[in-house]
């Protein structure tokens, strides 16, 4: 299960809000202490008894509002518009307090005592209280956490991680903590987590001069919602109250992006202040990045790369050739350090180190393409593990990656230099997450990021079966797209000898010879050819041989095990697995039973499975072709998809029966 980010905010003295928490800190009901099973989910190892938050937007009314961007504010001008001025005026503040109580039901939930809270920048917590409660001799005994157990770690310049562990936690304990951070990372409230929640309650007071948009995400409906006006500190305001009761645990499912895209939560975005435009907008982000020394300005200072670029593309005249050659050059000469980001180091430092994060390599690629005469824009991306982009909330933190875009008269290229074993015009699968934002003075806007390739493997086998039940012959693998990337990475990272050892061992094959073809040519299929001997795919019972014809690529497990699915099925890219096998039967035997040919299809050509068996005198030809032709399926299509896999598994499990003449 991937980690669901915690949501952190500013601080306020909440006694002013006039809303009391549902429970007093330290006042634990005896029935909660005695609970051994959560009635709504008897399998739960722990349950959030309540998760309570309350907040207040505090915006100055003197005509100045601090921007989301560092070192600038937006001020009302005499002509009615707003201008960027120096930092120093009062900021918009979102002040917050949170109170959480959790019941530990089973030993496997003891890790819930380890709490991680992310807060903005180098800030600290204004308040943190935490305690554990155990039932001893019929009495509730409290163990308070000492301040010595609180640790702060600067993850980045913008994020500090606060960690602490509650003491004396055991099966049956109740733990609780209250914290008041003094800075914000997100305007959201999450109702759902990886364990069930009995009650999640959130209060927000918003002054009337501030408007915001809100969107509910996920598949859990609000149990209660209340909105009413009230006076607060001399201001007109609206009080919003959100409640979700009996929220089930979020269950991770196959073929999803990050959990944070699917958990039930409410997302807020400031729309306007005093009827003026929003503090942040995508247009402002575009302008800011174009003017930034470490982003847009970097691409105007690339003349020192001109000589090197001319050497790389010498003799080439066509645009695709030049783009491909430059891409290959950067991939082969610069190593990706596996870190993501969209702000690069200086290009000269990157040249010296020959290594960098995704932004370093892609800005180097863009710079050389510019020197080759191409018009290049950078495209901000949120990778699949980072989450979907919410366009209604124009925050730069939604992005964690950057790629290159080139528009030619013939087509638009989207390029990335981090994966050296992918074709030049294919993006890594991590980038296939909807749309990206083009940062450009001319082409600014959203662009679809499609999958240009698929996961594809073709296996061809020509085998002979001995009367002892041993298969012998040739097997040829052809890898394309993302399967070729995986193969090439395994091959080069392990080395040929270790790769072959692990490949044969995982299949229990005896390899008599091996050959690898076009492993270095990313614009071609990667091929692996083997001479093999296999003992475990046929069972000889004297007069009868039972033969499993799938020596590879047999599907044996359905990834979709749940009875129902609430979330979309997101493959990211298309899939194709082809298996062609000819098996010559031993002398003295004849074919008694073979599987029937079959074609299975998903609605709207979402997927297709073709299985064909042909008898040829003393041989059998088996062809299997499994395809997923859509990258995204809605929950209503889940049952069809689940049954599709079930039928494929059942068909590929059918055996061939041979008997003595």
Task: Encode pLDDT of 626-637 as tens digits.
Answer: 999 999 999 999
How much is the average pLDDT of 615-619? 89
**Predicted pLDDT at 255:** 95
pLDDT of residue 280: 72
Tokens describing residue 544:
């009868």
Tokens 């297709």 identify what position? Answer: 608
Closest CA to 296 of 357, 363, 356: 363
pLDDT at 87 over 70: no
Mean pLDDT of 433-457: 95
Which whole number is the average pLDDT over 53-68? 58
Banded model confidence at residue 95, pLDDT cuts 50, 70, 90: confident
Return the number of other C-beta atoms located less than 10 Å from residue 270's C-beta.
Answer: 23
Buried b (16+ CB within 10 A) or exposed e, 301-324: ebeebeeebeebbeeeeebeebbb
Q: What is the pLDDT of residues 383-400, one digit of tens each?
A: 999 999 989 888 888 999
Would you place residue 181 in the very low, low, confident or very high pLDDT band (cuts 50, 70, 90)? confident
Cα–Cα distances (Å) from 576 to 453, 456, 459, in that order, read 11, 5, 11
pTM higher than 0.75, yes or no? yes
Q: Strand, coil or helix: what is 427?
A: coil
C-alpha–C-alpha distance, residues 138 and 62, integer Å:
58
pLDDT of residue 83: 32
The DSSP bridge partners found for residue 213 are 269
- 339's CB contacts (< 8 A; 6+ apart) are 357, 358
Rg (the chain; Cα; Å): 30
Secondary structure letter of residue 555 according to DSSP: -
Torsion, Cα of 184, 185, 186, 189 (10° steps): -70
pLDDT for the residue 209: 78
Rounded-to-integer distance, Cα 246 and Cα 44, Å: 13
Residue 355: other Cβ atoms inside 10 A? 12
The torsion of the CA quartet 584, 587, 593, 594, rounded to 10 degrees, works out to: 0
Element (DSSP H or E) covering residue 11: none
Q: How confident is the model at residue 72 (pLDDT cuts 50, 70, 90)?
A: very low
């Amino acid at each position: 299960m991937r980690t669901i980010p915690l949501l952190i905010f500013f601080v306020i003295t909440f006694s002013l809000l006039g809303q009391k928490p549902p429970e007093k800190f330290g006042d634990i009901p005896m029935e909660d202490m005695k609970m051994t099973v959560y009635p709504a989910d008897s399998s739960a190892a722990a349950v959030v008894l309540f998760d309570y938050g309350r907040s207040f937007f505090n915006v100055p009314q003197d005509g100045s509002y601090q921007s989301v961007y560092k070192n600038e504010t937006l001020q009302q001008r005499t002509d009615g518009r707003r201008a960027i001025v120096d930092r120093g005026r009062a900021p918009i503040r979102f002040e917050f307090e949170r109170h959480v109580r959790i019941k530990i039901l089973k030993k496997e939930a003891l890790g819930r005592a380890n709490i991680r809270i992310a807060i903005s920048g180098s800030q600290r917590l204004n308040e943190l209280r935490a305690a554990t409660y155990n039932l001893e001799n019929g009495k509730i005994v409290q163990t308070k956490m000492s301040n010595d157990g609180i640790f702060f770690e600067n993850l980045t310049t913008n994020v500090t991680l606060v960690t602490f562990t509650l003491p004396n936690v055991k099966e049956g304990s109740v733990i609780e903590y209250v914290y008041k951070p003094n800075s914000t990372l997100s305007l959201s409230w999450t109702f759902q987590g990886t364990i069930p929640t009995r009650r999640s309650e959130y209060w927000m007071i918003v002054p009337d001069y501030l408007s915001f948009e809100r969107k509910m995400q996920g598949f859990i409906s609000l149990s209660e919602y209340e909105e009413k006006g009230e006076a607060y500190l001399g201001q007109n305001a609206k009080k919003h109250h959100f409640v979700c009761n009996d929220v089930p645990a979020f269950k991770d499912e196959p073929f999803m992006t990050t959990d944070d895209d699917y958990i039930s939560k409410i997302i807020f975005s400031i729309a306007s202040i005093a009827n003026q435009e929003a503090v942040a907008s995508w247009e402002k982000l575009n302008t800011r990045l174009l003017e930034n020394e470490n982003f847009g300005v970097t691409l105007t200072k690339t003349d020192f790369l001109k000589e090197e670029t001319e050497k790389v593309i010498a003799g080439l005249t066509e645009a695709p050739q030049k783009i491909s050659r430059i891409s290959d050059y950067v991939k082969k000469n610069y190593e990706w350090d596996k870190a993501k980001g969209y702000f690069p180091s200086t290009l000269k430092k990157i040249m010296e180190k020959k290594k960098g994060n995704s932004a370093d390599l892609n800005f180097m690629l863009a710079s050389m393409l510019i020197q080759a005469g191409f018009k290049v824009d950078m495209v901000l991306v949120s990778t699949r593990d980072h989450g979907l982009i919410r366009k209604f909330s124009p925050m730069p933190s939604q992005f964690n990656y950057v790629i290159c875009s080139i528009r030619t008269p013939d087509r638009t290229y989207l390029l990335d230099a981090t994966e050296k074993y992918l074709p030049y015009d294919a993006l890594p699968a991590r980038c296939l997450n909807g749309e990206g934002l083009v940062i450009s003075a001319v082409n600014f806007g959203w662009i679809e990021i499609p999958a240009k390739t698929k996961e594809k493997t073709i296996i061809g086998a020509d085998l002979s079966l001995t009367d002892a039940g041993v298969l012998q012959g040739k097997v040829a693998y052809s890898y394309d797209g993302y399967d070729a990337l995986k193969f090439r990475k395994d091959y080069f990272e392990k080395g040929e000898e270790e790769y072959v050892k692990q490949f044969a061992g995982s299949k229990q094959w005896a390899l008599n010879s091996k050959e690898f073809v076009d492993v270095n040519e990313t614009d071609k299929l990667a091929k692996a050819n083997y001479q093999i001997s296999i003992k475990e795919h046929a069972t000889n019972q004297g007069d009868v041989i039972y033969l499993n014809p799938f020596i590879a690529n047999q599907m044996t497990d359905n990834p979709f095990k749940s009875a129902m699915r609430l979330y979309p099925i997101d493959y990211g890219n298309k899939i194709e697995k082809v298996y062609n096998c000819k098996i010559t039967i031993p002398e003295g035997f004849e074919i008694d039973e073979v599987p029937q040919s079959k074609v299975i299809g998903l609605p709207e050509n979402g997927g297709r499975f073709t299985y064909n068996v042909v008898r040829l005198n003393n041989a059998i030809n088996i062809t299997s072709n499994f395809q997923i032709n859509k990258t995204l399926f809605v929950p209503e299509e889940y049952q069809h998809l689940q049954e599709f896999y079930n039928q494929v598994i059942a068909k590929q499990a059918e055996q061939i029966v041979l008997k003595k003449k």
